[in-house]
Amino acid sequence: MQTKHKIILHCDVNNFFASCECALNPSLKDLPVAVTGEKSKRNGIVLAKNNLAKSFGVKTGDIIYQAKQKCPDLVCVRPHHDIYEKYSKRIRKIYEEYTDKVEPFGIDECWLDITDTAKFFGTPLEIANILRKRIKEEIGVTISVGISFTKTFAKLGSDMKKPDAVTEIPFSKYKNMVYPLPLGSIIGIGRKLEPKLNKLNIFTLGDLANCDKNLLKTKFGVIGEQLHDKLNGINDDEVAFANDSAQAKSIGNGTTTLVDVKNMQEMKTVVMFLCDEIATRLRKKCVVGSTFQISLRKNDLTWITKSHTIENSTNNSFDIFNTAINLIEKMWDKKTQIRSVRISVSNLCNENSINQLTLFEQKNTQKEKLDKAIDKIRDKYGYMSIKPLITQNKELLNSDALRLDDTDIDE
């Protein structure tokens, strides 16, 4: 009996931020466009660019003046994250017309499992082209689509041909198409892992797929084992349902401060600023988290990172703040000035599932009441309508710093 393979699509919006800006303002469509931070606020880098800007050599991460040297006519626009989120939701609604298994990967990418629903709409290739056409006509942006039998290969397919294209990696051809590619072609193999694999004479995806699995497990633990399986087309993750509240693996944010952080009082201002926003997002998703990761970027542009898991999951801003500050006390020597701070909360679960309190623990209803009151005010008057007093330092922070740094990098 022939094995029935899954049909997975990976849909990636091309140059998402820049494409949204061009859709909002059609006069930009034939111009080189970059979405950038603001130079005066020390986050003046290219966050995204359109294909025309890319053709001049403009890259994500370029400082604005560098990008302008490459492309003197470059049009720089400020980001509008609320609008990008609206575009993202509209696009996902279209995907959900074809399957109830739609799993976001960042704001601009989604996996779709159409194994059980393809028969209603056509062949996988026909469905991919229908989605391309609809997104272009109804939303005003383009997507690249990968089609395969696993999430890993579908994602690879969408990366292979851009923009506005479809690439299919079928089971019968995946080794010929995938194995000659370099290691960095798939998610999971980053700049740190690649040189370690090279030392084992592993330079291509085929080398990794054909390597002894036990050796990879010994050298790299579960990551090596998982990569081996994925490249052999087995044990790939399921696509989550569109309404699965556990989709988000972590919620976090970061900011680059207007001036370097020099002492603990300034650090507390920044941390409270971030923790309050993270807690609000956790509560909106009705989830709590127990694992915290703090990353500090020093003024020499190197990073230090530390994580910690607490016993009781939370979505309260002061709980998150206290945990973050305790971590920072252990990892920061206070002599080195800090340029950027990032905080994330993971190990998430539904807040209603947390009800196992011991005899000596009482649920803090005062905290809950305060959180609900704050959320209610923000829902009515906007997020910035009520903020912790400690965060009111305009010499250190700008009000849109959160949104400027919480981005997914466009390729």
Q: pLDDT tens digits for the chain (411 residues)?
A: 456 899 999 999 999 999 999 999 999 989 999 998 766 555 578 888 999 999 999 998 888 989 999 999 999 998 888 899 899 999 999 999 999 999 988 789 999 999 999 999 999 999 999 999 999 999 999 999 999 999 999 999 999 999 999 999 999 999 999 999 999 999 888 777 899 999 999 999 999 999 999 999 899 888 899 999 999 998 778 898 887 644 567 888 888 888 889 999 999 989 988 998 898 888 888 888 889 999 998 888 788 988 888 877 888 888 999 999 999 999 999 889 998 899 999 888 776 644 433 333 344 556 676 777 777 776 666 655 566 655 566 666 654 444 333 333 333
For residues 267 and 382, state if they share a domain. yes
> CATH code at 104?
3.30.70.270
Q: Is the pTM of this model over 0.75?
A: no
- Domain residues for the domain of 207 are 179-231
Predicted local distance difference test score (pLDDT) of residue 141: 96
Long-range contacts of 303-306 (CB under 8 A, 24+ apart): 304/331, 304/332, 306/330, 306/331
Cα–Cα distance, 8 to 155 (Å, whole number): 9
Are 109 and 213 found together in one domain? no
CA distance 113 to 121: 13
**Dihedral, CA of residue 331, residue 336, residue 337 and residue 338, to nearest 10:** -30
**String of DSSP letters for 337-394:** -EEEEEEEEES-EEGGG-----TT----HHHHHHHHHHHHHHHHH-GGGS--GGG--T
CATH number at residue 320: 3.30.1490.100
Q: Is position 123 within any domain?
A: yes
Name the region of 226 (left: φ>0; alpha: ψ -120 to 50; beta: rest).
Answer: alpha
Residue 241 domain-assigned? no
Domain annotation covers residue 239: no
| pLDDT reported for residue 49 | 93
In a shared domain, residues 189 and 166: no
Residue 7 within a domain: yes
Q: Domain check: are 150 and 38 in the same one?
A: yes
Strand pairing class (102-104; 109-113): antiparallel
Active site residue ranges: 109
Closest CA to 404 of 257, 268, 251: 257
Residues 105 and 254 in one domain: no
226 shares its domain with 353? no
In a domain, 94, yes or no: yes
9 lies in some domain: yes
- Domain assignment present for 244: no
**Same domain, residue pair 285 and 202:** no
Do residues 186 and 307 share a domain?
no
φ and ψ at 341, to 5 degrees?
-130, 135
CB 48 within 8 A of CB 397: no
Q: Of 82, 84, 40, 97, whose CA–CA distance to 64 is shortest?
A: 40
Instruction: Please state, in angstroms and as integers, the Cα–Cα distance from residue 358 to each residue in 90, 290, 349, 354, following that order.
Output: 44, 17, 19, 12
State residue 11's pLDDT score: 98
291 membership: H or E segment, kind and range: strand 287-298
Among 368, 353, 356, CA closest to 319 = 368
The residues, any chain, with a CB within 8 Å of residue 317's CB and separated by 6 or more, are 272, 275, 276, 278, 279, 280, 371, 388
DSSP type of residue 104: E
DSSP 213-268: HHHHHHHHTHHHHHHHHHHTT-SPPPPPPTT-TT--SEEEEEEEEEEEE-SHHHHH
> CB–CB of 178/168 below 8 Å?
no
User: Is residue 411, in this structure, part of any structural domain at all?
Assistant: no
Is residue 383 within 8 A of residue 284, CB to CB? The reply is no
Q: Assess whether 3 and 48 both reside in one domain.
A: yes
At residue 242, what are phi and psi to the nearest 5 degrees? Answer: -60, -30
Total domains present in the chain = 3
As a whole number of angstroms, the distance between CA 81 and CA 84 comes to 5
DSSP H or E run through 312: strand 303-314
Q: 390, exposed or middle or buried, with CB in 10 Å at 0-12, 13-18, 19+? A: middle
Residues 173 and 290 in one domain: no
